[in-house]
Structure 1
Amino acid sequence: MTKSKGNYYQHIDALRAIAVLVVIIFHIDHDYLPGGFVGVDIFFVISGYLISKQLFESIERQTFSLREFYVRRIKRILPAAFSVILITILLAQILFLPEDAIKTAQSGVWSAFSMSNFYFWKFLDTGYFASASYTTPLLHYWSLSVEEQFYLFSPCLPTFTA
């Protein structure tokens, strides 16, 4: 395997780039790459692999710290996520009709707590391919919610089996 330093694998970054490119092409026009949404699944698999690998290696070296794991995740994800949520809600208040601005703010609250996948599933009649999804600017946060939920529970699993 191609390694450049530490546990960094260039081919995994290449797979990530391909996954992102596939999703971007899909969002430009669904006809260009009809199955392009699979890029999200590829990204999930890569993230799950990398996090699981990191967890198992640190447990094996007996350097695993649940607190450090969560601190790293929080520092890496939340500043950018909260910034996007806040800016989106503010812009929605200016650009959207009042009802749509309220829905955006509600989805923003659920997104801030990494629960937007449940919000969109339970409270909106908005499937991923629904035409209304174009008026739901935080819809993409469902995938970040799933990832953060994985981060919340995955470190606990190896500690029960170790």
Structure 2
Amino acid sequence: MSVDGRAFTPATALRPGEQVQVDTTRLDVLALFDAGRLARPELTSAVDVAARAILAAVPCPSATKAVDAALLLAEMAVAHPARPMWPDILDHAPALPHQRPTALDERLAGAAARPFVLPETIVVNRGKVFVSVAFTAACEHLGISAQPAPPRAPTAKGIVERTFDTANALFRQHLPGWRLL
């Protein structure tokens, strides 16, 4: 059951890119920014429902803007080159059938094994960043359907919410004085 007692249906997707959940959270760590300012950064993430893979994440030193959310869409859809110091296991060529994508775009020949997907549907909350003209225009331009989650229903984006819980725990475990209770 959801927080207010209504039943909810878990998100399902059968193939990568069919549904992606996007959300923003403030991390439970303090970071040192320009001019010695301490603040809690925000992280906007996109998690594929079928693969449970983080497709992209954009950290922001302060409040996430619409342009940051649009950047997240671009990060999801673009293959990134493998860097020279990365281990060979991250080279996508041996693990994936890459002949056809490489024939379409030769930049994919050296791509890293980070998933890149142009989603069909993204589920977002009703925050001003995700209903902004810039973000909705970027979705329209890319042919992505932006589906707003029901109001006050965090279970509608449970997969990305759980990802944030995990990310926060992984950051906190490296902080001095933090311990598992």
If the length of structure 1 is used for normalisation, what is the TM-score? Answer: 0.27
Quick one: higher RCO (CA 8 Å, sep 6+), 1 or 2? Answer: 2
Q: Kindly indicate which of the two structures has a greater share of residues assigned to strand.
A: 2
Q: Kindly indicate which of the two structures has a greater share of residues assigned to helix.
A: 1
